[in-house]
């Protein structure tokens, strides 16, 4: 991600970058331009206070509104700024009700438009909005251009013709303090991990594969930051965490579940990597081996597929799915060898 930051006194274009976010319908490129309101004396003591430390972080409750711009070519002068910029911005009450909206497969935004809602940063309701909020300050408006660049693992630098660009504005009224991952206690991290895992399961069952994959990925990013071992620090962490074997099991389940999402999204290389990590963590879990076999089979890595499916049958001898998969691999291998033999015979005939 490339970012260009300007002086904190600027009220125009202060930052811009491009990123790729996973959303329903495929991958979208994000281009963000921040629009500041004027700094107020009540907002900060000096210029140093006007920094990225004043942005929302994990767990922050954000009062936010998303709006569509009617015309992508509209001039910058028409960007919607927060009403009454001279008012003071107080924090969102900790008791504020967090907005929960069913994720939709036909929406990249996942939030109601033209309506102030309370969003908890880090829960993955809308990864586009959250990615923008992480770099915004209270009372600020950002202009965001979203361009569809591909489906599944097929990413093109050229915007897709089937999805016209979206130009939106995101307004952040105010937010509560949050924490960076390294500032959180081990117990808090574990709670977030399990929350993401549960949310991923709900999303997957509802057909929201993109959302489920996002939840499992968020859980793993937090989980890998936990340091559990025989050191003094590791012993201290253990007081707030379940046993190490339970953590390992959860980590394996997350990798296995993420692999399944990636298989359904045709992200085959990623699916193979995640399934392989799951089998390394928990070698006795048949589901992870089966997903590894599926990924290898679809990548035409037939030897790897055979090894994985045979391992499934060692663990579950009555698995009809693994038996059928092995037959399919053998048939594909036979077909491949026949084609190779035909090409060789033509070369030497």
Per-residue model confidence as pLDDT tens digits over 246-274: 999 999 999 999 999 999 999 999 999 99
Q: What is the pLDDT of residue 230?
A: 45
28 by Cβ neighbours in 10 Å (0-12 / 13-18 / 19+) ranks as buried
As a whole number, the mean pLDDT across the chain is 78
Fold topology of 183-340: 1.25.40
For the chain, how many residues are written? 349
Specify the range with the lowest mean pLDDT, choosing from 25-34, 103-112, 233-242, 269-278: 233-242
What is the pTM for the complete model shown?
Answer: 0.78
What is the distance between the alpha carbons of residues 74 and 128, in angstroms, rounded to a whole number?
Answer: 22
17, 1 in Cβ contact below 8 A? Answer: yes
Which DSSP helix (H) or strand (E) runs through 190? Answer: helix 186-205
pLDDT, tens digit (0-9, with 9 covering 90-100), for 53-84: 588 999 999 999 999 876 334 444 433 333 33
Q: Which residues of 207-239 are buried (b: 16+ CB within 10 A; e: fewer)?
A: ebbbbbbbbbbbbbebbeebebeeeeeeeebbe
What residue ranges do the domains of the chain occupy?
4-178, 183-340
> In Å, how far from its chain's centre is CA 161?
24
pLDDT score for 122: 92
| pLDDT score at 4 | 40
The whole-number average pLDDT for the span 215-225 is 93
**Sign of torsion over alpha carbons 24, 203, 212, 285:** negative
Q: Which residues have CB under 8 Å from 93's CB, separation 6+? A: none
DSSP 227: -
Res. 238 pLDDT band, cuts 50 70 90: low
The whole-angstrom separation of Cα 132 and Cα 134 is: 5
Q: How far does CA 305 lie from the centroid of its chain?
A: 28
Would you say 11 and 37 are in contact if contact means Cβ atoms under 8 Å apart? yes
Tell me the per-residue pLDDT of 96-106, one tens digit each, with 9 for 90 and over. Answer: 677 677 777 77
């Amino acid at each position: 991600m490339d970012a260009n930051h300007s002086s904190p006194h600027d009220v125009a274009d202060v930052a811009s970058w491009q990123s790729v976010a996973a959303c329903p319908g495929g991958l979208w490129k994000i281009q963000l331009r921040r629009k500041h309101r004027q700094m107020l004396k009540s907002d900060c003591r000096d210029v140093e206070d006007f920094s990225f430390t004043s942005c929302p972080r994990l767990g922050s409750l954000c009062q936010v509104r998303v709006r569509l711009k009617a015309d992508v070519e509209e001039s910058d002068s028409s960007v919607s700024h927060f009403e009454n910029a001279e008012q003071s911005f107080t924090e969102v009450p900790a008791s504020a009700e967090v907005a929960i909206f069913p994720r939709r497969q036909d929406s990249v935004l996942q939030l109601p438009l033209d309506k102030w809602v309370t969003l908890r940063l880090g829960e993955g309701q809308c990864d586009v909005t959250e990615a923008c909020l992480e770099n915004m300050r209270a009372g600020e408006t950002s202009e965001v251009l979203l361009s569809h660049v591909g489906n599944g693992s097929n990413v093109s630098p050229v915007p897709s013709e089937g999805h016209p660009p979206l130009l939106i504005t995101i307004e952040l009224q105010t937010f509560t303090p949050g924490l960076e991952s390294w500032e959180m206690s081990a117990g808090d991290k574990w709670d977030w991990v399990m929350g993401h895992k549960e949310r991923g399961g709900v999303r997957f069952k509802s057909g929201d594969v993109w959302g489920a994959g996002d939840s499992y990925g968020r859980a793993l990013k937090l989980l890998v930051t936990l340091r559990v071992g025989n050191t003094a620090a590791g012993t201290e962490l253990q007081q707030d965490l379940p046993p190490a074997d339970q953590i390992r099991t959860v980590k394996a389940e997350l990798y296995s579940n993420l692999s399944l999402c990636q298989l359904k999204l045709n992200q085959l290389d990623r699916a193979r990597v995640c399934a392989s990590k799951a089998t390394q963590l928990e070698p006795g879990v048949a589901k992870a081996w089966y997903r590894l076999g599926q990924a290898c089979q679809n990548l035409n890595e037939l030897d790897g597929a055979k090894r994985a499916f045979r391992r499934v049958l060692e663990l579950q001898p009555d698995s009809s799915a693994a038996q059928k998969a092995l037959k399919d691999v053998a048939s594909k291998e036979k077909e491949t060898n026949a084609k190779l033999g035909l090409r060789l015979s033509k070369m030497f005939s």
